[in-house]
Amino acid sequence: MEKKYKISYLINILGVIAVFLLFVLLFETKVFGPSTQYIKGICTTACYTIIMVASLNLVVGFMGEFSLGHAGFVSVGAYTSAIVSSALAGKGLPDFFLFLTALMAGGAMAGITGVMVGIPALRLKGDYLAIVTVAFAEIIRVCFCNFPITGGGKTMSGILKLSDFYWCYWIMAACVAVMYMYVRSRFGRTVKAIREDYIAAAASGINVTYYKVMTFTVAAFFAGVGGGIYAHYMTAMIPTNFNFMYSAELLSEVIIGGTGSLTGSILGAAFLSSLPEMTRQFSKYRMLVYSIILVMVMIFRPGGIFGNWEFSLTRLIKKLTRQEGGKKDSRNEKTKGGV
């Protein structure tokens, strides 16, 4: 069994490497011509959006709680990482280690904030939890509007441009892999049990509050990492960027992709993050387009496009090899019958 899992992990790692090499080939050979850098920027945007959406899916999809304040954790990670990288700039650290240190600091601060918010908030459920998370996100935004170190409500500029697509791709892949392993671990199975039947899980001796706060903290940590990548890509931020509409945008990407599916989060975030660039002439109507897509998905696919289905490269290869084997067997049988 262990050998089977090792082979599966190896195949998936090779698949991730193959996708990366494909992007390198497309960008380095400048297949897209003058638009190469522009498309590379869109892919970088997709990378940090995938991290944010997948982390929110841990709360909404796997834990079954409704959160509308995820932008607050993104902002904590963004501002913390920007402050750390600015403080460490010129200390002789290579850019990658400086970038990684800033992201870890942003994720850690967002995780601490997640604990502080999660302990009182996760005692509530449903609409009450959604209202409380919105309130906490607004409190965080107002604080950043009044802190001098974050610009005091004005644009915080001069942030180092450290978010390169190649680095962001591997950071995104690592974050999604860790979240996937968390969901497949005993902690993830416990959280799913709480989602399916809260009363039964509590009655069976599970510390419901502990596991919910832990999952909320993990989600906040990765949201902070995504925020750090965002800060070092945009190089300028203002607290109003992380308002309620940004949280609603992330939530819509989770729902459209599929609650309970990291594959859906990846594809949904990649598509919807590039949608504003594809409809730049109609940027004022971006949320209207989101709303129309969301309504259509809710009508025809209430559980999201992918539901709780996860893509597996190993499963796909097995399916293809079995089909090929079945075709060969049928040909052999026809040949034998003809003889």
Residue 21 located in a structural domain? no
Residue 19 located in a structural domain? no
- Nearest-angstrom CA–CA distance, 280 and 316: 36
pLDDT of 336 reads 47
Residue 314 located in a structural domain? no
Q: What is the mean pLDDT of residues 70-75?
A: 93
pLDDT at 312 over 50: yes
Q: What is the mean pLDDT of residues 116-129?
A: 83
Residue 90 located in a structural domain? yes
Task: Give the H or E element holding residue 236.
Answer: strand 236-237
Residue 4 located in a structural domain? no
pLDDT in tens, 268-296: 888 887 777 666 666 667 667 767 877 88
Residue 322 located in a structural domain? no
pLDDT of 229 reads 95
- Nearest-angstrom CA–CA distance, 228 and 165: 14
At 300, which CATH number?
A: 1.10.3470
pLDDT at 160 over 50: yes
pLDDT band at 328 (very low <50, low <70, confident <90, very high): low
Angle of helix 95-121 versus helix 165-184 axis, rounded to 10: 40
Q: What is the mean pLDDT of residues 61-79?
A: 90
Residue 327 located in a structural domain? no
| Biggest distance spanned by C-alpha atoms of the chain | 88
User: How long is the chain?
Assistant: 339
pLDDT of 326 reads 54
Q: What is the mean pLDDT of the chain?
A: 85
Q: What is the mean pLDDT of residues 238-246?
A: 87
Show the tokens assigned to 220.
């906040």
Q: What is the extent of the structural domain holding 290?
A: 32-308
3-state secondary structure of 302: coil
Q: What is the mean pLDDT of residues 113-122?
A: 88
pLDDT band at 222 (very low <50, low <70, confident <90, very high): very high
Q: What is the mean pLDDT of residues 128-144?
A: 88
Residue 330 located in a structural domain? no
The domain tally of the chain equals 1
pLDDT of 202 reads 87
pLDDT of 303 reads 77
Q: What is the mean pLDDT of residues 299-309?
A: 81
Q: What is the mean pLDDT of residues 83-108?
A: 90
Under 8 Å between Cβ of 135 and 210: no
pLDDT of 339 reads 38
pTM for the whole structure: 0.89
- 57-66, 94-103, 277-286: least confident range: 277-286
Check residue 207 and give left, alpha or beta (phi > 0: left; psi -120 to 50: alpha): beta
Percentage above 70 pLDDT, the chain:
90
pLDDT of 332 reads 53
